Structure 1
C-alpha cells in the first residue's frame, strides 16, 4: 500500500498541500473551539 519513492517524489505538490491542509484544519479546529468556549 506504500507508494513508490519516485512517484512520491514526483508528487511534491500534493505533499505540500497535505501539510498545508493539516495546519489549516488544526487552526480551524482551534478557532471553532475558541468560538464555542469563549
Structure 2
C-alpha cells in the first residue's frame, strides 16, 4: 500500500510531522477531544 493511500489519526506534533513527511493524509485529532 502506498503511503499516499493511507490516513493517519494523530495526537502529537511529532506524529503529524512524520505523517506529512511520509506523504500520508493526516488528521490531527487533538481538537476533536477535550480533557475532562
Q: Which has the higher helix share?
A: 1
Pick the TM interval, shorter chain: 0.3 to 0.5
Larger RCO, structure (CA 8 Å, separation 6 or more): 2
Q: Which has the higher strand share?
A: 2
Structure whose alpha-carbon radius of gyration is higher: 1
